[in-house]
Chains A and B, each alone.
Chain A
Amino acid sequence: IQMTQSPSSLSASVGDRVTITCRASQSISTFLNWYQQKPGKAPKLLIYTASSLQSGVPSRFSGSGSGTDFTLTISSLQPEDFATYYCQQGYSTPLAFGGGTKVEI
């Protein structure tokens, strides 16, 4: 299963609403997870099973979608949210990540 993210990068300002899209090459139900990675750091789980917020993650992050199309939304971008975001399908092996979306100032 191939995972395609768009855009590959975007520029935004603090307070903006940001939406990142992830598309699977075949239906994966809701087995879709989102991660945030900052430079030099390990990825951090944000959203699992398409829309479940991981414990400790701010509520400005939300996920939606099912089948092949999914979105990650940041309702009001904060300075600490500038990072690269990856989707990952957990429907079948081999597990696969999208190519990433870099959110820049």
Chain B
Amino acid sequence: QVQLQESGPGLVKPSETLSLTCTVSGGSMTSYYWSWIRQPPGKGLEWIGYIYFSGSTNYESSLKSRVTISVDTSKNQFSLRLSSVTAADTAVYYCARTYGGDFYMDVWGKGTTVTVSS
């Protein structure tokens, strides 16, 4: 049974870079897309972007200039970097396995809270 686990700092200073890693266990990363989604406090879900296991990426338009998603299949991990963060980037960040073609997210991590504050 595939499981995902997010990890990374829970507190990031304004203007710095948020970095998170998602570790995939119980299965292979091959043939799947891997997404990052976030949820600001009390608000809805926002898709950030995804990476295919081979390395191709696609990002939300409004975040594209600040986001980088990378993958390391040898470690069964993929990562999110979001630069120049502000308080508006405070959210719970989720990673999710994304089924290609229909692009639904069938396995999710538990989420990690990231607060942007000095």
Contacts and interface: CB of A to CB of B under 8 A. Distances in A.
A40 B37 CA distance: 15
Interface in A29-88: 31, 33, 35, 37, 41-45, 48-49, 54, 86, 88
Contacts of B94: 42-43
Contact of A96 (B47, B105, B108, B111): B47
Interface in B6-62: 35, 44-47, 50, 58-61
Contacts, number: 59
Given A42-B111, A97-B46, A48 B59 contact: no
Interface residues of A, number: 24
Nearest to A37: B45
Interface residues of B, number: 21
Contact of A94 (B45, B61, B108, B109): B61
Nearest to B111: A42
B108 A90 contact: no
Interface in B87-116: 94, 99, 102-106, 108-111
Interface string A82-105: 000010101101111111100000
Interface of B: 35, 44-47, 50, 58-61, 94, 99, 102-106, 108-111
Interface of A: 31, 33, 35, 37, 41-45, 48-49, 54, 86, 88, 90-91, 93-100
